[in-house]
Structure 1
Amino acid sequence: MTTSSARSVDVLAVGDASVDYFVRVPHIAVADDKAIGRLVGVHGGGMSANLAAAASFAGARAALATAVGSDEPGRQALERLAAHGVDVSASIAVPGGHTWFCVIQLDATGEKSLVGAVTEVKIPAVDQISDDLLRTARVVAPLADDLGWATGLARRARAAGAKVAVDLEPGAVAGRWDQVRALARLSDLVFCNQGTVRVLAGGDPVRCAELLISAGAGAVVVTRGRDGALCFGPEESWSARGPRLDVVDTTGAGDALAGAFTGSWIRGRSLADSLRAGVAAASLCVSHLGSRAYLDAGTGIETLARDVTLDAAPHPQGIR
C-alpha cells in the first residue's frame, strides 16, 4: 500500500466540471413568472472543480478527475483549472460530448437561483477511476449527488489508504438515511449546507452532527451562508464567521469552504484553523462574480483568515 508521505496528491476531487452562465435579473423568477435580465459573465463551475480549486488555493496539491465534452467549453474548463494549480491529467474529454452547464439568476443582493442542464457528460464512469489513481491521493472527495456512486468510490478510496471527504446536498439525501449513514461511515469529513440540515435533522445543526458522527463520520462541517460555518468533531466544536464583505454572488461559496477546509486539514491543520481557512475562502468567493473568480483577486487565504472570528460552539451530546 502506498504510504501517506509517498502520495503525490493531497486532495483528489472526483466528479463534475461545468460552465456557468450568469444572468443579472430584477428578481428571481418563480413558476409562471418571467425575469428578463442580462448576461453578466461566463465562468467555470461544478462542485468538484470548485472544491479542487479551493484546496489548491489553501496550499494543497489538488487534482480533479472529471469528464467533459470534447467541445470548447470543456477544453476551457480544464485549462482554467490547470492555470489555478489543479492537476487535471486524470480528466477525460468525451469525443462528441457536450460539457454540462448551468444558468444562474442573480438578484441585486447576490442571492442566486441555479438551473443545471445535464448533458450526456457530467461525471466519470466508475470504471474510469482506477485504484492506482486513488492510491495517489491522501484524501478523495467524490461528488455525492448519487449516494450509491459516491459510497462505492469512498469504499475503494478507503481500501486504497486514502481518507474521504463528502459534501451532502439536500436533494441527494432526502428519504435516503440508510445510504447517508453508509457513506458517513466511510467519511472523515462531511459537509452539509442548511438545506441538508433541514432534511436530516429538522434544521438543528448540532443534532445533524450528532447523527452523522454517531454513524461514523470523523467530523461534520455545517455551512450557514452569511452566518459563517460550524464544525463538529468528536471532542471539539467551533463556530466561525467571516469578515463582512460586499456580497456579489453566492455561487460556489460552499464548495470554496469545503475545498479550503479539506486542503488545510489534510496538510495537518487543526479543525479550528481549517474552519478559519474554509470560511475565509467562502467570504472571498462571494465578493466576486463566478465561483472561482476569487482565485485571480490576488488576496491570499492567510490574510483573510486572520479576520475570521472563531468561537466555541455547542457540542453534540452522546458522541464524547
Structure 2
Amino acid sequence: MSTPAGWAPTDRRRSSVRWDVVVVGSTNVDLVLTVARHPRPGETLIGGSGELFAGGKGANQAVAAARLGARTAMVGAVGGDPNAAVALSELTAADVDLEAMARVPGPTGLAVVTLADDGENTIVVVPGANAAVTPAVVEAARAVVGGARICLLQAEIPLEAVTRAAAIAAAEDVRVVLNLAPACQLPIATLRLADPLVVNEHEVALLLGWLRAEDGPSPAPAVTGGTPATHAEALAAARALRAYGVRSVVVTLGRLGAVGIGADGEWSLPARTVPVRDTTGAGDAFVGALAAALAAGHPLADAAATATGVAAFSVQRLGAQASYPWKDDPLP
C-alpha cells in the first residue's frame, strides 16, 4: 500500500501528522472455546479446547493496520489484572504506540468466543476496563487524535467517548472511519462525520430501523427492510444511509464480500474464496486494513479491495490479532 504520487496531508496539517491511524476503542482478552457445534439453549456441551488471545475490536483494528505498515497509535484502557499483559501483547509486537493507553483498577475487558467446527462463532463481551474510556480520557488524548490521518472508531467503549472522539477528529481535520459495531444508536451528527461508516448486514438493518423511527422515512430509493442478503440490497441500504447525510458507506457481507458508496460512486466486491478455520476478528481485519489503505491515500473502493484480501487471510488462521497478515505476506 504505497502512497500515491503527489498525495500528502493538507498544508495546514502537514507538520502535525505523526500517525497514519489512531484507534480510539476497546482492548480485550479473548477466551476462545472450541466446540463441534454451538449449543442449543439450555444445553451443555464438552468443548475441545480453551485458549487466551489478545482481542477487542479497537485493538484488533489497530493491530491489523499496524501489521500492514501503518504508523498506528491506540487510545483505550486495560485493567490491573494479569490479563492486561495478554491484551497488550500483539499491540506491542506490532509496534502500536501505547502512550495514550490507560491502566485502571479492576479487570481488563473480556470476550468469550465459542468457535464451532464450521468456523462460525458466537461472542459475549464483558467491558471491564473499556468502560473507563470516557470523554475525559479521549479529551486528554486530543493531541494524539489530532496527530493522525485517520481516526478509527468502534462501539465497544462508552458511546459518549465515541461521539467525543469523532468531534475532536473532525475539528482537527482528521478523517473519521466509524465501524458501528456492535450496532448502537449514535447521534446522526456523529454518523455524518464518518467517511466511511462501516457496517455489516445486520448492523445496517438495525441502524436504518432506528433512523426511520427517529427521523421518518429516508428520501432514498425504497429498500425492502430487514437484513440485506445480496449486493443489490446492501447497496440500496447504503444509498438510504447516504440520503441521511452520511458521507460514504461500506457494507460488509461476510462470505458475500462488500459493497460501498461515496463521492466516487458505487462499487461491489466479491469475497475471496478460501478455506475457513475461524472467523473471529475477520471484520476487524477488514476495517483495520481499510483504514491503513485510506491513510495511504487510496480511494475507498481500492482500500476495500485490499481489506477484503486481509479478511480472507485472517479466516484461515485461529484467533483474531494473531491471524492478521504482515505487510509482506501474500494475500488471497
Q: Normalization by structure 2: what TM-score?
A: 0.83
Deviation at 1:248, TM superposition (A): 0.9
Distance 1:62 1:299 in 2: 14
- Cross-structure match for 2:123: 114
The amino acid that maps onto 1:192 is: V
Tell me whether 1:286 sits opposite 2:315 in the alignment. Answer: yes
Taking the TM superposition and a 5 Å limit, the aligned residue runs for 1:1-320 are 3-4=13-14, 6-94=16-104, 96-129=105-138, 130=140, 131-145=142-156, 146-169=158-181, 171-173=183-185, 179-199=186-206, 200=208, 202-203=226-227, 204-295=233-324, 300=328, 303-304=330-331, 307=332
% same residue? 32
Secondary structure of 1:91's counterpart equals strand
Instruction: Give distance in 2, aligned partners of 1:253 and 1:134.
Output: 25
Gaps of 5+ in 2: 1-10, 209-224, 228-232
Contact 1:2 1:135 in 2 (8 A): no
The CA distance in 1 between the partners of 2:300 and 2:260, in whole Å, is 7
For the structure 1 residues 257 and 162, does the alpha-carbon distance in structure 2 shift closer, same or farther, using more than 3 Å as the test?
same
CA distance in 1, matches of 2:102, 2:146: 19
Aligned-residue Cα RMSD (Å) equals: 2.1
Runs of 4+ with deviation above 3 angstroms: 120-123, 145-149, 297-301
Relative to structure 1, the CA distance from residue 48 to residue 148 in structure 2 (aligned partners, 3 Å threshold; closer, same or farther) is same
Distance (Å, rounded) in 2 between the aligned partners of 1:42 and 1:68: 16
What's the CA shift string for 1:144-177, capped at 9, x where partnerless?
A: 245443222211211122111111136414xxxx
Q: What is the Cα deviation at residue 180 of structure 1?
A: 4.8
- Unaligned runs of at least 5 residues, structure 1: 174-178, 308-320
Give the 3-state SS of the residue equivalent to 2:74 in structure 1: strand
Q: CA deviation at 1:247?
A: 0.7
User: What is aligned with 1:316?
Assistant: none
- Equivalenced residues, count: 297
CA–CA distance in 2 between the matches of 1:57 and 1:45? Answer: 15
1:42: Cα distance to partner?
Answer: 1.4
CA distance, structure 2, for counterparts of residue 128 and residue 298 of structure 1: 30
Q: CA deviation at 1:82?
A: 1.6
Aligned partners of 1:21 and 1:43 also within 8 Å: yes
Is the alpha carbon distance of 1:183 and 1:30 closer, same or farther for their aligned partners in structure 2, counting shifts above 3 Å?
A: farther
| In 2, Cα distance between equivalents of 1:32 and 1:172 | 28
CA distance in 1, matches of 2:244, 2:73: 28
Give the superposition deviation at 1:276: 1.3
- Rounded Cα–Cα distance in structure 1 between residues aligned with 2:264 and 2:244: 16
Partner of 2:218: none
Q: Distance in 2 between matches of 1:163 and 1:4?
A: 14
Partners in 1 of 2:96 and 2:12 — Cα distance?
22
What TM-score do the two structures reach when normalised by structure 1?
A: 0.86
Distance apart, 1:213 and its partner CA: 2.0
Q: Is the 8 A contact 1:184 1:212 kept in 2?
A: no
Following superposition, the deviation at residue 185 of structure 1 comes to 1.1
Aligned AA (1:184)? L
